[in-house]
Amino acid sequence: MRNKRVLLALVTAVIAIAAVSSTLGRAIYSGHTPGLVSFGVVHFAGYLFFLLMPVEALVPVYQAEGHPGAVLVIIAVATAIVAQAVDYTIGRAFSDRVIEGVVGVERFERFRSRIERWGGWAILVFNLFPLSSPNMLLVAGIVRYNAGKAFLWSLAGLTGKYVGIVYLFDVVTWWTSRGA
């Protein structure tokens, strides 16, 4: 079982590195401004439960490159919802035991208990902050939590998070430019 987890971790790392390198890395190395397609691809990959990446950090990077905050919010939320739909569908399709083998028994039970106790509020909080929201949607699928409610809570949390990040970047940019 341990060898399978190590292999899964290595495959996951290779996929994450390939996604970032082939999109964002290529633009940076060539001296070009990273495009919105690379933002979307990396962001989508970061919301798949088996590729946990801190993709929220990309928003200020792309904003600093001149991309409009509203466009970044729309792309971030849309790609996250699509990736979470994949996570939710995988959760519905596979048994608890298969997912426990991938995510880990303790982590799976922790997510399950949060969904059973708090329902949509847990999904909202996990999407509002940089927590493991993809795992939360995976487990929501496993426990057969209502898909409509899950994605509504997820949409609210993701939108709040990304609007907050864009706003914070704008405030910091404004504040630092005042003294110049």
Residue 109: what pLDDT? 78
User: Is the model more confident about 51 or about 41?
Assistant: 41
39 pLDDT above the threshold of 80:
yes
Residue 9, number of CB atoms within 10 A of its CB: 11
User: Is the model more confident about 2 or about 133?
Assistant: 133
Burial of 85 (0-12, 13-18, 19+ CB in 10 A): middle
6 pLDDT above the threshold of 70:
no
26 pLDDT above the threshold of 80:
no
Residue 24: what pLDDT? 54
User: Is the model more confident about 65 or about 17?
Assistant: 65
Residue 139: what pLDDT? 80
CA separation for the pair 83, 106 (Å, rounded): 23
- The type of residue at 140 is A
16 pLDDT above the threshold of 90:
no
Instruction: Kindly state the average pLDDT of the residues 114-123.
Output: 83
pTM of the model: 0.76
Residue 91: what pLDDT? 83
Residue 17: what pLDDT? 59
Contacts of 137 (CB under 8 A, 6+ apart): 49, 84, 87, 88, 91, 123, 150, 154
Q: Which residue has the tokens 């929501």?
A: 140
165 pLDDT above the threshold of 70:
yes
Q: Where do the structural domains in the chain lie, given as residue ranges?
A: 2-178
Q: Give the range among 2-16, 22-36, 41-55, 102-116 with minimum mean pLDDT.
A: 2-16
Residue 95: what pLDDT? 65
| Average pLDDT, rounded, for the chain | 80
Predicted confidence band at 73 (pLDDT cuts at 50, 70, 90)? very high
